[in-house]
Amino acid sequence: MDFNDTAEEAAFRKEVRTWLDANATRKSDDKQSFRARNDDPELLKKAKEWQDKKAKAGYARITWPQEFGGRGASPILQVIYQQEEANFLVPLGFFDIGLGMCIPTMMAYAKPEQLARYVKPALHGQEVWCQLFSEPAAGSDVAGIRTKAERDGDDWVINGQKVWTSGAHYCDYGIVITRTDPNVPKHAGLTMFFLDMKTPGVEVRPIKQMSGGANFNEVFFTDVRIPDSQRLGKVGEGWKAALTTLMNERLAVGLPSGGLDIDELMELARDTDLEDGPAIRNQQVRGKIADWYVQQQGLKLTRYRTLTALSKGQTPGPESSIIKIVAAPKMQDMGAFAMELMGHAGIMKEDVPHAAGFQAQWIGGAGFRIAGGTDEILRNIVAERVLGLPADIRVDKDVAFNQLGKK
């Protein structure tokens, strides 16, 4: 065992570092972040410029085939690029869904002339894509969507509502899953399309989150007319297409990084005066620090195991499925505990060291436990795919969608 790159990896890392040093500013410490708010138009502009630079140098999507602007290289080189890029002050995060989920779905289903039109501008950051899946009545059960698309000559007319659409307010295009046949069971009546977000009848309204931010949107469709040529996959096979997208999501969704963690918690515990002395000397406090440290290390090292498999050209095992199950509650619980150490002042947003940071963890953790698969859905996935336990009994399986809930 060792923590060393192979010769090929080391050479690539060196090449990437040289390029990054020539084109970007190195962070002075790992807490520094480019991101202010991602609804800042200046930030998007800068992100687009950086994306274009990357794409021109061939670093934007290293695993993509060369014909689409990639290098046809192994995922491990993509990881190496990201590791190195993380040390630089560059605006990131606007293109992950588009390039990680939407365009791969396009590659699987769109026509060659459509790929010729859309892939390059997406890769170079000129056009941003979003994914229109979740609905008010379809979260974990995303196949339960109700937004309908009806055939009208050579067109489809879409009506309905999507929700939690990341970045819809600045996106140019989106892929959308719709119900085209309510007379068949849930999964069978779906069809996928892509569309221009400026198509008449599309209305985007930001959602203000509990955290105060507004990264997500509601998207309303009112008689939105699109041609049949924008259909992705066959009519009624939208679920299959959606699985292609979601499979890519599992690779694209990372972990929030740069937040407060064990180091800051220990610092806080040293500085907190409890009745029996500094909090760091209190056995209950020490027990919690130890537990979270073991989790933090366990996640990092589990990630290393996955990278090792990638480096060896193997398919990583299922171990990475534990990451969000552990990370999200840890973020929430550690935030809450750190606030408790501060006493009543733990509720104050200013003038208390680390308070704002831990409050952000506590608030953000509540969202992170839900986004991209709830704690509960992820446990189902582990139980079913890793342990081979039966899928949940589905009472909607053989029932036409429009008969669900009716006795």
C-beta of 179 vs 324, nearer to other proteins: 324
CA distance 319 to 70: 28
User: Helix (H, G, I), strand (E, B), or coil: what is residue 157?
Assistant: strand
Q: Is 249 a catalytic residue?
A: yes
If phi > 0 it is left, if psi is from -120 to 50 it is alpha, else beta; for residue 372 that is left
Identified binder of other proteins from the candidate list 11, 36, 86, 356, rule CB under 8 A: 86
Identified binder of other proteins from the candidate list 309, 352, 371, 399, rule CB under 8 A: 309
> Taking CB under 8 A as the rule, which mask of x and - marks residues 147-186 in contact with other proteins?
----------------------------------------
Q: Say which of 249, 264, 275, 340 is annotated catalytic.
A: 249
The continuous run of DSSP H or E covering 130 comes out as strand 129-132
CA distance 199 to 226: 8
The continuous run of DSSP H or E covering 337 comes out as helix 323-341
Taking the complex as a whole, how short is the minimal distance between the CB of residue 340 and other proteins, in angstroms? 18
Query: DSSP labels for 184-195?
Result: SBGGGGEEEEEE
Q: Is residue 298 involved in binding other proteins (CB under 8 A)?
A: yes
C-beta of 129 vs 292, nearer to other proteins: 292
C-beta of 3 vs 275, nearer to other proteins: 3
The piece of 130-138, 178-186, 309-317, 349-357 that touches other proteins (CB under 8 A) is 309-317
C-beta of 44 vs 262, nearer to other proteins: 262
| Residue 113 identity (one-letter amino acid) | E
Question: Is residue 178 a contact partner of residue 158, using CB atoms and an 8 Å limit?
Answer: yes
Site residues for other proteins, 355-394, by CB under 8 A, read: 376, 378-380, 382-384, 386-393
Q: Is residue 21 involved in binding other proteins (CB under 8 A)?
A: no
The continuous run of DSSP H or E covering 177 comes out as strand 173-179
Q: Is residue 347 involved in binding other proteins (CB under 8 A)?
A: no
Q: Is residue 35 involved in binding other proteins (CB under 8 A)?
A: no
**120 phi, psi to nearest 5 deg:** -60, -50
Q: Is residue 33 involved in binding other proteins (CB under 8 A)?
A: no
> How distant, in Å, are the alpha carbons of 9, 182, 264, 377 from that of 258?
25, 45, 12, 26
Taking the complex as a whole, how short is the minimal distance between the CB of residue 394 and other proteins, in angstroms? 11
Query: With CB under 8 A, what is the number of residues at the site for other proteins?
Result: 68
Taking the complex as a whole, how short is the minimal distance between the CB of residue 48 and other proteins, in angstroms? 24
Q: Is residue 26 involved in binding other proteins (CB under 8 A)?
A: no
Question: Is residue 154 a contact partner of residue 125, using CB atoms and an 8 Å limit?
Answer: no
The pair of structure tokens assigned to 187 is 């999964």
The pair of structure tokens assigned to 211 is 């955290």
* Alpha carbon 155 to its chain's center: 32
Mind telling me the catalytic residues?
249
Contacting positions for other proteins (CB under 8 A): 1-6, 9, 29-30, 76, 79-80, 82-84, 86-87, 254-255, 257-258, 262-263, 266, 280, 283, 286-287, 289-291, 293-295, 297-305, 307-312, 319, 322, 325-326, 376, 378-380, 382-384, 386-393
